[in-house]
Amino acid sequence: MTTQTIAEPTVTGMKAMVSDWVNSAISGTKRILLLFDYYSQGYRGYLVTLLLLSVISGILETFQIVLLYPIMNATIDFQGPEIAIFEPFYNYVRSCSSMPDIVLFSLLFILLVFLTFAISLVYRYLSLYLTKSVITRTKRVIFEKLVRNDYQYYVENKRGDILYNVVTAPAEVRHFLEISMSMFSESIIIVTIIVTLCFVSTTAVAILVGGGLLFILVVRYIGKKFSFRLGRLHMKSMRSENEVLSGYVAGLRQIRSVCGDGYWKDKYNVALDEYWEKYIRLSFFRQLPGAILQFLFFVAIAVLVISLYYLYQEQFLFIIPLMGTFVFSALKVIPRLSGLSHQYMGLMDLWPNLDTIYQFLNDSRYHTITNGNRNFRKLTSDITFEKVRFSYFPRQKLIEGFNLKIGQKKVTALVGHSGSGKSTVVSLLLRYYDVMDGRIMINGHDLREYDKDTFLRKVGYVSQDTFIFNTTIRENITFGGDYSDEEMIDAAKKANIHAFVAGLPRGYDSIVGDQGIKLSGGEKQRVAIARALVRKPEFLVLDEATSNLDNESEAIVQDSINRISKNITTFIIAHRLSTIRKADRIYVMSKGGIVESGNHDELMEKKGMYYELYESDG
């Protein structure tokens, strides 16, 4: 009674363990097939071709095994019984030629080896072509997704994570496809060989399959326990490295000015150690199953030979061809099983990256801004904000009941304390975000009705954080647009930068360096203004465009702004109030709303918030 009571839970536990393993295997296989299907869409023809080549390769390798038996029989000059099921094939081959068996079957064996080699080359080329096509398409799709994402995505995600998703993670798709196709091909070859071996020795096949299944169980356990963790650690470490490198390069001037290099070296070392400190232990256990399998296999062969010798001493000569055929077959299967173990570990290592890309491409959270279908051609009216409400977070009160008018062909300025919502107004106007309530009216239509691209092409935008990239001044001004030299030079003259550029040795073809390091702050800002003007915008948005400049540079840039704003609708977010004294209309913003408006003189007479801001600015 006691024995039965103890045995029942044991059997139940084993059943549960097997059931869990089967379910886990099915779930993992479905996931791999899902990802493989997702990344290989559009290339099914290549996959079918690779499948056929794998089957052909498996058949050819199987027939190499079939040919080995008569070759070994002929080698030892022993006329023992042949494998019954293949005897018609052997007789047919002999009927085709009068050559000795050892020569005939050896030549056929060489032919099959050559065909296998040729097919493997074709398979490798097609698989590489498929990999190249999929990886380039995936990278394009990822970048297109980045372009389509709302501005909020870039606010909520670190630069290092974004760089990792675009540059590093997609490279793992290549490894995933290479490993998946290799595993697929090797699995087919293993199956065909095992089926063939069934006609040689069912007992030997049972031992081989049983050992293989046990080996696969061990591999799955180690892969899940160590390789997946290694992959997650690697992904996290690479993201941290990207974040540190990106931050260091972006802030190099400030970092060097405070002798902060050591701090950033420490940050980088932490990012490295997070992964590599655990790399040895996790990688060691990941590689252990393959090494153990090969060790046990060769030990088993030696033990088998010794055992057969003592058991069948008188018939040992008869057993040699059969045993040789089986050993040759096993030598084709075992390394492949070992290779499959490494490849499975590799898939587990890549899994976090593949899942990250899959989740990123199927994430719809950052596609909230809908595009209108009305083309924007020209500004024919004032721009008005009507009872606009917006906040970045739930229950946050940022902008509520906001009303403002940007007069056509006028200069309108918006001022206020830091955090009052000025830059948010610009973000709404440029459609980085959409208003939650109210509307922004342009030419009698809601801004959301316009096609975003046609609208933004008519907007000239200059911010305080000028974007200058490492190329020529020409490319920084034209920004990939199709503009003539005359249009570019005219914009540069209006921005007060042409005389400076003309004095450079290579003129507009001068390289400005990373982040425009070869230019001063005022020169970078004037290049940005020229970039805005070359597009012949209908209105100009200047978001604290002079706040980071010294007095001399500010005076030059301000002169440019004063001249171009006479003939174009201009909206200025001002930090230094001295730069907007000539504005037609000045709005004073506080806590998400307008508290004062008027021209400079009118607001100074009121001696309200504008007066306080102006006096403190002076």
Structure tokens at 378: 């020209």
372 by Cβ neighbours in 10 Å (0-12 / 13-18 / 19+) ranks as middle
pLDDT confidence of residue 26 = 67
pLDDT confidence of residue 285 = 62
Of 201, 207, 187, 192, residue with least CA distance to 69: 201
CATH topology of domain 46-361: ABC transporter transmembrane region fold (1.20.1560)
44-53, 293-302, 437-446: the lowest-pLDDT one: 293-302
More confident: 391 or 162: 391
Residues 598-614: pLDDT tens digits? 999 999 998 889 888 88
Q: What is the pTM of this model?
A: 0.65
Of 437, 434, 457, 459, residue with least CA distance to 383: 459
pLDDT confidence of residue 446 = 93
Tell me how far apart the alpha carbons of residues 443 and 380 are, in angstroms, rounded to a whole number: 6
The domain 383-617 is placed in CATH, from the list 2.70.70.10, 3.40.50.300, 3.40.50.800, 3.40.1280.10, at 3.40.50.300
Tell me how far apart the alpha carbons of residues 191 and 203 are, in angstroms, rounded to a whole number: 16
More confident: 333 or 581: 581
Start-end of H helices in 223-260? 228-250, 252-257
More confident: 195 or 458: 458
Stretch 156-178: mean pLDDT:
74
Contact indicator for 352, 235 with CB cutoff of 8 Å: yes
Q: Which residues pair with 440 in a beta bridge?
A: 385
DSSP state of 448: G
50-59, 190-199, 459-468, 575-584: the lowest-pLDDT one: 190-199
Tell me how far apart the alpha carbons of residues 365 and 150 are, in angstroms, rounded to a whole number: 9
220-229, 281-290, 366-375, 502-511: the lowest-pLDDT one: 220-229
pLDDT confidence of residue 428 = 92
pLDDT band with cut points at 50, 70 and 90 for residue 463 = confident
Tell me how far apart the alpha carbons of residues 107 and 87 are, in angstroms, rounded to a whole number: 18
The H or E element containing residue 440 is: strand 437-442
Domain ranges (residues) in the chain: 46-361, 383-617
pLDDT confidence of residue 440 = 93
Contact indicator for 412, 405 with CB cutoff of 8 Å: yes
Of 576, 521, 572, 581, residue with least CA distance to 543: 572
Stretch 303-307: mean pLDDT:
62
pLDDT confidence of residue 113 = 84
CA dihedral for 441, 447, 449, 454, sign (positive or negative): positive
pLDDT confidence of residue 588 = 92
pLDDT confidence of residue 6 = 44
pLDDT confidence of residue 3 = 47
Residues 359-407: pLDDT tens digits? 888 887 877 788 889 999 899 999 999 999 998 887 778 888 899 999 9
64-73, 137-146, 464-473: the lowest-pLDDT one: 64-73
Residues 101-131: pLDDT tens digits? 778 888 888 888 888 888 888 888 887 788 7
Q: What is the DSSP string of 299-327?
A: HHHHHHHHHHHHHSTTTHHHHHHHHHHHH
Structure tokens at 457: 């092409």
Residues 4-32: pLDDT tens digits? 444 455 556 555 655 665 666 566 667 66
Stretch 321-348: mean pLDDT:
66
The H or E element containing residue 136 is: helix 101-148
Stretch 184-194: mean pLDDT:
76
Tell me how far apart the alpha carbons of residues 289 and 281 are, in angstroms, rounded to a whole number: 14
Of 392, 375, 371, 387, residue with least CA distance to 441: 387
Of 41, 64, 66, residue with least CA distance to 113: 64
pLDDT confidence of residue 384 = 94
Stretch 124-149: mean pLDDT:
81
Mean pLDDT rounded to a whole number for the chain: 76
Cα–chain-centroid distance for residue 267?
Answer: 24
